[in-house]
């Protein structure tokens, strides 16, 4: 049995939807699957799997935990605690509980997480070790997929550190979300697991705007990978990850999210299939996904990545200063497309200023890029009714280019105009 935990530090990233799609895709390959809902404060996996909201879900995980804390003997067979998923005999749901109201809420409130994990006789590790073994013994699935709670919780720690063979962490581009994800994953990597190896870690860059071109997307992927993989203290807590997988946004899901499960012609299904391959043990593709769709939100993603890149400058300035300039150049182009000329000018001026600094240090490498970005900035100034000499970054760039003379080499292939 392979155990995969789906986790996100922040909500709204499509974690439960991705798990439900993955479960059905595994079933389509003939795999036997159990989906375990450990998002106890906001259970909803049964909705995504098509189990009726008024179905009898039984006592669920919460009932099992309260029974354990009362000192009741464990159930002889866990199969009675699971519920079938319509349309297949290969997929079963282990629900959080019967409802998020009434008895369920009272049972959840009765769980003493402090006693379970931190009390004088903590039994939480023993309980979750037993739970994993009992599911494998009584049900025998090929895959156990776990929907973990967002943020930092005791249950999330159990789902990530005690149960999982591999963890899929969904992130957006916000710095606080990436920071929080990195810190949680570090705690997972450093957690004692009774001789079991640390889980394989995968990062999913989720609901990313489809208008990002391949270069922008690859830059975002590299930045998030490098940030999550930064050396930790202690060193044993350092998280080793590949480039993030990518799940792009699908505008139609804002109206009907379950279309991701019911339709078979959505663009994000190609992204979902890449995640499925990872769950089955494949490596992360290094190339960016194609078939981009336009959306006006992409500049926000680039802006978030600029913020992350600035924070990496202190440790690896030589590496990330060109990346910041590239991202700012792309940001200026996106903002210009949206008609936000003043914001576009500010981004373009900063890109030119940084590229001027880089060109002064290594003119043979950066001068062609500076020439292109200076011309772009001049065009933006003209469109805004401003004279070229009103921009000090442009003036400094043109002075340096005049001093250097005509460029004699092609632009650095890792740099982009914009």
Place of tokens 């900035």: 377
CA angle 27–43–72, rounded 5-degree value: 95
Give the pLDDT of residue 407: 54
Q: Which residue has the higher pLDDT, 401 or 295?
A: 401
pLDDT above 90: percentage of residues in the chain: 43
pLDDT band at 291; cut points 50, 70, 90: very low
Count, in order, helices (H) and strands (E) of the chain: 16, 8
**DSSP 3-state of 183:** helix
Q: Decide: 322 and 289 in contact? Cβ < 8 Å.
A: no
84 versus 152: the higher-pLDDT residue is 84
The Cα–Cα gap between 380 and 148 comes to 47
Quote the CA–CA distance of 401 and 363 in Å, as a whole number.
9
Which one is predicted more confidently, 111 or 263? 111
Segment (H or E) for 2: strand 2-8
Phi and psi torsions of 3, nearest 5°: -110, 120
**Residue of 238, 245, 228 lying closest to 279 (CA atoms):** 245
For residues 32 and 170, what is the distance between their CA atoms, to the nearest angstrom?
A: 24
The 3-class secondary structure across 49-98, one letter per residue, is CCCCCCCCCCCHHHHHHHHHHHCCCCCCCHHHHCEECCCCCCEEEECCCC
pLDDT at 73 over 70: yes
In angstroms, what CA-CA distances link 8 with 95, 119, 176, 180?
19, 27, 12, 9
Q: Which of 267, 276, 273, 83 has the alpha carbon at shortest distance from 168?
A: 276
CA 83 to chain centre: 29
pTM: 0.74
Mean pLDDT for the stretch of residues 69-85: 92
User: What digits encode the pLDDT tens for the residues 232-290?
Assistant: 988 889 999 999 999 988 766 765 676 667 666 566 788 999 999 999 998 888 777 75
Q: Which of 132, 116, 125 is nearest to 191 (CA)?
A: 125
Apex 86 CA angle, 80 and 88, nearest 5: 90
**Closest alpha carbon to 115 in 68, 147, 73:** 68
Selection from 369, 289, 284, 360 nearest residue 323 by Cα? 369
Q: Please name which of 315, 303, 321, 305 lies closest in space to residue 366, comparing C-alpha atoms.
A: 321
Confidence of residue 81 (pLDDT cuts 50, 70, 90): very high
Residues in the chain, total: 418
Average pLDDT, the chain: 85
Q: Does the pLDDT of residue 138 top 90, yes or no?
A: yes
Span 2-279 CATH architecture: 3-Layer(aba) Sandwich (3.40)
- For the stretch 142-175, pLDDT in tens is 999 999 988 887 767 777 888 899 999 999 999 9
| Nearest partner of 125 among 147, 157, 80, 78, judged by Cα | 157
Place of tokens 């997307």: 217
The DSSP 8-state label assigned to residue 11 in this structure reads: S
Left if phi > 0, otherwise alpha if psi is -120 to 50, otherwise beta: which for 146?
beta
| Nearest-angstrom CA–CA distance, 199 and 196 | 9
* pLDDT beyond 60 at 412: no
Q: At 296, is the pLDDT very low, low, confident or very high (cuts 50, 70, 90)? A: very low
Coil, helix or strand at residue 108:
helix
pLDDT digits (tens, 9 = 90+) for 315-355: 677 777 888 888 888 888 878 877 788 888 999 999 999 99
Helix spans in 384-418 (H)? 392-404
């Amino acid at each position: 049995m392979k155990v995969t935990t789906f986790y996100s530090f922040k909500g709204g990233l499509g974690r439960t939807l991705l798990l439900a799609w993955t479960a059905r895709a595994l079933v389509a390959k003939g795999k036997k699957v159990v989906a375990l809902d450990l998002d106890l404060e906001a259970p909803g996996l049964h909705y995504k799997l098509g189990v009726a909201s008024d179905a009898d879900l039984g006592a669920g995980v919460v009932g099992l935990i309260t029974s354990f804390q009362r000192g009741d003997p464990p159930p002889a067979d866990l199969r009675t605690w699971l519920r079938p998923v319509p349309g297949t005999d290969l997929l079963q749901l282990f629900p959080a509980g019967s409802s998020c109201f009434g008895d369920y809420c009272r049972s959840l409130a009765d769980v003493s997480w402090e006693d379970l994990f931190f009390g004088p006789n903590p039994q939480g590790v023993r309980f979750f070790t037993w739970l994993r073994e009992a599911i494998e013994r009584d049900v025998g699935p090929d895959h156990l997929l776990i929907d973990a709670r967002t943020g930092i919780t005791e249950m999330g720690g159990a789902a990530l550190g005690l149960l999982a063979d591999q963890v899929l962490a969904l992130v957006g581009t916000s710095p606080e979300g990436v920071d929080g994800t990195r810190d949680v994953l570090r705690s997972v990597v450093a957690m004692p697991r009774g001789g079991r190896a640390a889980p394989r870690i995968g990062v999913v860059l989720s609901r990313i705007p489809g208008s990002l071109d391949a270069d922008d997307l690859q830059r975002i992927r590299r930045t998030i990978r490098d940030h999550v993989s930064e050396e930790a203290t202690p060193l044993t807590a350092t998280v080793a990850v590949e480039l993030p997988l990518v799940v792009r946004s699908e505008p139609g899901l804002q109206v009907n999210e379950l279309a991701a499960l019911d339709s078979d012609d959505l663009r994000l299904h190609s992204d979902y299939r890449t995640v499925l391959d990872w769950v089955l043990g494949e490596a992360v593709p290094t190339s960016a996904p194609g078939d981009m769709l336009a959306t006006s939100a992409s500049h926000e993603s680039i802006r978030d990545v600029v913020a992350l890149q600035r924070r990496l400058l202190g440790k690896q300035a030589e590496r990330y200063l060109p990346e910041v300039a590239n991202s700012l150049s792309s940001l200026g182009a996106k903002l210009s497309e949206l008609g936000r000329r003043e914001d576009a000018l500010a981004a373009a001026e900063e890109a030119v200023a940084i590229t001027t600094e880089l060109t002064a240090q290594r003119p043979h490498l950066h001068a062609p890029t500076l020439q292109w970005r200076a011309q772009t900035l001049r065009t933006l100034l003209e469109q805004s009714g401003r004279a070229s000499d009103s921009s000090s970054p442009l003036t400094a760039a043109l002075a340096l280019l005049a001093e250097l003379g005509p460029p004699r080499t092609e632009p650095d292939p890792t740099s982009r105009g914009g």
